[in-house]
Structure 1
């Protein structure tokens, strides 16, 4: 039976708000936390982007829930040797309750130092090498590495957890899912796609952790919720690879007109219909997910957590 977690959005909230949401999530009965790792929000209306590793430090003191980045790109903006140090320290501070979720990233966050944004197949090569480097560093031994994409010389992590940090790999298509099955300690995807889960498990993932998540907008006026989603998170309804290749929030804002409120209404749970919220999360459970995370888009955070504590979570298989 799956566990249910809450997804903290660094694109939409500042550090203090994220910590308070984590407290409310634990009190409401959620079992785990995801937290996004961004340098920019997707658009200016979202309006935030705190440094995730600082927030994780605060979360380690505020709650006792497992925490995972969803997801970190350890390939361009941050060298994998630096990500390994951040992840190892996070695992020590959470007493082993930290998992490192990784993916190939988006130009939105990763181009900021002027590096070339490589094509998808190169990004997957870089991610695989980065995972190899980080796993070696998690041993606490001195590492030197001269690879295709990364060089590490005489690097040693002195602060490491008792067990190596699990690395879960994000994948949204067959090639990325195959990579996750081959190199990951777990699999992350954002659609309740049973075929992808089956591909992951048959491709080498076996009984490893499969996690997924969705966004909802709880509120008592469904139409108002639709407008809120359309204002803040229309980017999730954009087709194709735009989410991976557009470089700035301004570029995403230029495409807002491609997403209608009707499209939002069809694809995002908006309002306070218990059955709709339950049904959306059950889709992930039915597809074979082990952990299912939900993110509240709307402003009524207290109402959302009360709603899930009393009406939604008790109806879900767990």
Structure 2
């Protein structure tokens, strides 16, 4: 059975709104909520970037059933992996076991604030060490660790939830799928690629959850939806190599200055047409993803999206399983 989530995009809304939107998403019938973990927005026009872990703690208290997830946290620079494990365990307790820790290798945009962004080979090695540390601590182990990148001296978590916090690892190819199968209970991907699902399954992830996120720009005026999508989400037209390496919002603005509305509309459904939005989601469902989070583009457009999702979009998506 596919579950459908609501994305709390921290780049486009202040923290108090994110908490209120999460409560409204639960009322609308969404199964889970994801929170992006950024230091900067992708573009200055988005205008926000609160601390995701404070938002998560508040959302845990403002909701009762909604499953929660970091989407995704980078544990290699801005946060030490031992501290990430402590945060995740605390969230597991505060949420009553509703929290999943999503982890990824990160972007320069968010991690350079604490020092130089490592070369890609180094950060992948750092990520693997981080996963080993986090997995051990969340499993309740007392560890000492001396790696190439991290030292952990006698760490142990004293507040753990009754059930171990699940870990979801962002994947993009064979190596990351192998890491997800070894250290995680779930995978996260940004493209509807069935090969990623297959590689994760073969690497030990059989029966694990497969998470993704689908951006939509819903509203009654298609042209306005296209304009907002271009203004707020044109960074999505860039490849992952650019997304992971560009250093700040002005760099993203320069890199995307020639991206057109039609370019963004080709990858993000825009307007009131239900079938267009359902088709975008169905691509991920058909590729084998089990948990699909929807992000409505534009922080000030959530109030029109959530009632429509409750009355129209979610029933149509759940009909896909019938």
Task: Name the TM tier (shorter chain).
Answer: over 0.9
CA-CA distance at 1:158 after TM superposition: 1.3
2-structure distance, mates of 1:256, 1:233: 10
Name the structure 2 match of 1:208: 208
1:238-280 Cα deviation digits (max 9, x unpaired): 1351100111111111112231111012111000101111111
Shift, 1:141, TM fit? 4.2
Cα distance, 1:284 vs. partner?
A: 1.4
Is residue 38 of structure 1 aligned with residue 33 of structure 2? Answer: no
Instruction: Give the distance between the partners of 1:274 and 1:227, measured in 2 at CA.
Output: 19
The residue aligned with 1:49 is 49
Corresponding residue of 1:285: 285
Equivalent-residue separation in structure 2 for 1:86 and 1:170 (angstroms):
19
How far the C-alpha of 1:173 sits from its partner, in A, is 3.0
Unaligned stretches of 5+ in structure 1?
A: none
CA distance in 2, matches of 1:104, 1:82: 16
The SS at the match of 1:7 is: strand
Over 3 Å counting, the alpha-carbon distance change for 1:156 and 1:182 in structure 2 is closer
The answer to whether the Cα contact below 8 Å between 1:142 and 1:155 also exists between their aligned partners in 2 is yes
Contact 2:229 2:265 in 1 (8 A): no
Query: 1:26 aligns to what?
Result: 26
Query: Helix, strand or coil for the counterpart of 2:196?
Result: helix
Contact 1:38 1:52 in 2 (8 A): yes
User: Partners in 2 of 1:235 and 1:41 — Cα distance?
Assistant: 11
For residues 102 and 5 of structure 2, the distance between their equivalents in structure 1, rounded to whole angstroms, comes to 14
> Who is 2:71 aligned against?
70
Measured in 1, the distance between the counterparts of 2:183 and 2:135 equals 11
- Alignment partners' CA distance in 2, 1:108 and 1:34: 20
Q: Is the 8 A contact 2:233 2:264 kept in 1?
A: no
Q: Report the secondary structure of 2:266's partner residue.
A: helix
Aligned residue for 2:310?
309
- The residue number in structure 1 matching 2:138 is 138
- Does structure 2 conserve the Cα–Cα contact (< 8 Å) formed by 1:238 and 1:259? no
3-state secondary structure, aligned to 1:72:
coil
The answer for unaligned runs of 5 or more in structure 2 is: none
Q: What is residue 245 of structure 1 aligned with on the other side?
A: 245
Deviations 1:97-153 (A, max 9, x none): 101000000011111112x32222322221111111112222444321111111011
The alpha carbon displacement at 1:200 in A equals: 1.5
Q: Is the 8 A contact 2:135 2:183 kept in 1?
A: no
Cα distance 1:121–1:178, how it changes in 2: closer, same or farther (>3 A)?
farther
- Distance in 2, matches of 1:295 and 1:139, equals 32
SS at structure 2 position matched to 1:217: strand
Counterpart of 2:258? Answer: 258
With structure 2 as the length reference, what TM-score do the two structures score? 0.95
SS of residue matched to 1:210: strand
Displacement, 1:177? 2.5
CA contact (8 A) 2:144 2:152 kept: yes
**TM-score between both structures, scaled by the size of structure 1:** 0.96
**Aligned ranges for residues 1-318 of structure 1 at < 5 Å?**
1-64=1-64, 65-114=66-115, 116-298=116-298, 299-316=300-317, 317-318=320-321
Post-superposition shift, 1:196?
1.6
Partners of 1:142 and 1:279 in 2: how far apart? 47
